[in-house]
Amino acid sequence: MDHGTDSTSHQSFVADSRIRVARDHLADGREILYFDDAGTAMHHDRKPDGRELPARPPTAELRQDPLTGEWITIAAARQNRVMLPPAHLDPLAPQTPENPSEIPDNYDVAVFENRSPAFGPDSGSSGDAVPIDISVGRAVTSVGRCEVVCFSPEHEGSYAMLGETRARTVIEAWAQRTHELTQLPGVQQVFPFENRGEAIGVTLHHPHGQIYAYPYVTPRTQRLQAAIAGYGTNLMADILDAERSGPRVIMSGEHWTAFVPYAARWPVEVHMLPHRDVPDLAHTTLAERDELAVLHPRLLRALDALYETPTPYISAWHQAPASGADGIRVMLQVTSPRRGADKMKFLAGSEAAMGAWVGDLVPENAATNVREALAVADAQWAATTQIPPTT
């Protein structure tokens, strides 16, 4: 497989020369990038955005909760975002005369700045660190960036059903955007994720995900940093070593292993870790991305095969922050509140108020369920594509 290196990149980012990237701007100044599949038939030049759009909303406000030190984004403009529109008004489909959508032309994968972001559009400066001490009534500007990642021009579908080539293009987009967003002044951490299913709270059926570039290190990552400080920088390596020889492994390749964690919170929870210390997707090798384009969709197809209807989930890429990254390894975490064919886990008093979780399923049994579903999903996929899984 012939790959190329982006000579303008740094921090170990390697771009795949098979996947072409084109840049443009929408009518209100937001950036849009097109990522073209390897061997695509797409034209390099894209149509301009001819819409007349209002000015972008002002950058949201961050308010500190003095009881926890956590930062809450107050982003009132998000109240106006589109809610489950009909297919002919899909805002993520390519524009037509009848549908003045967000994407001016046809595409394979498209990434653009969110019209109603929780962070940004102001990016601040490298000296604008969010305070870490506690103060009552403290507020700062919610700098950063929020982007939408469209996996396909089709109105319906899912990441799991894209096929290996398109999944690989999405992974390249995540890696490239992680690399570039990390360079923005004021950005402390980059988070690519996908919400799927109305039970999760999605407002668009179109297959897509998002990327948040935060101006602070998120609470989850702060807790991980504290755990590493207490255990040592080999914590995540030791977790992977323990899991690879245990009963909770779902699948494993040359570069990645997926498993149900020992202390799973959610009825469905799977983690996937790389076999080497790599802080984020931007630092993965092209071979690691190629394998991920096989394993990640397989995992999501397995979750869909657990029951007769598709499983709602959050597919989250936990990545190391810009600083304090020692010992942190990039990790995929896929979770679902679905605890049965017609049952959902809701965060009740103990979890929602106190953060004290109660697991509904034994993790070892949950792993068995996912492995059995994986076998079913692999057989269905092989029958549909007539190509057996390669890993």
Query: How many whole angstroms from its chain centre is CA 367?
Result: 22
**CA-to-CA distance for 132 and 139, rounded, in angstroms?**
12
Model confidence over 232-266: pLDDT tens digits?
Answer: 999 999 999 999 999 999 999 999 999 999 999 99
* Domains with residue ranges and CATH for the chain: 20-216 (3.30.428.10), 221-385 (3.30.428.10)
Give this prediction's pTM: 0.93
DSSP assignment, residue 126?
T
Q: Enumerate residues 6+ apart whose C-beta is below 8 A from 121.
A: 30, 56, 59, 113, 145
Mapped onto helix, strand or coil, the DSSP state of residue 174 is helix
- What are the DSSP calls for 156-173, one per residue? S--GGGS-HHHHHHHHHH
Euclidean distance between CA atoms 21 and 280, whole angstroms: 20
1, burial (CB in 10 Å: exposed 0-12, middle 13-18, buried 19+): exposed
pLDDT tens for each residue of 160-177: 999 999 999 999 999 999
Q: At how many degrees (to 10) do helices 286-304 and 164-182 cross?
A: 120
Which residues contact residue 97 at a Cβ distance below 8 angstroms, ignoring those fewer than 6 apart?
Answer: none
Render pLDDT for 287-339 as a digit per residue (tens, 0 to 9).
999 999 999 999 999 999 999 999 999 999 999 999 889 999 999 999 999 99
**CA distances (Å), 128 to each of 125, 216, 289, in order?**
5, 10, 33
For 333-367, give one letter per residue: b (16+ CB within 10 A) or e. bbbbbbbeeeeebeeeeeeeeeeeeeeebebeebb
Residue 205 has a pLDDT of 85
Over residues 40-62, the mean pLDDT reads 93
Per-residue confidence (pLDDT) for residue 7, from 0 to 100: 34
pLDDT in tens, 194-209: 999 888 878 788 999 9
275 counts as catalytic: no
**CB of 262 closer than 8 Å to CB of 363:** yes
Q: According to the model, what pLDDT value does residue 146 have? A: 97
Start-to-end C-alpha separation, the chain: 17
Residue-level pLDDT at 77 = 80
Using pLDDT thresholds of 50, 70 and 90, give the confidence band for residue 6: very low
Q: Single out the catalytic residue among 179, 208, 271, 283.
A: 208
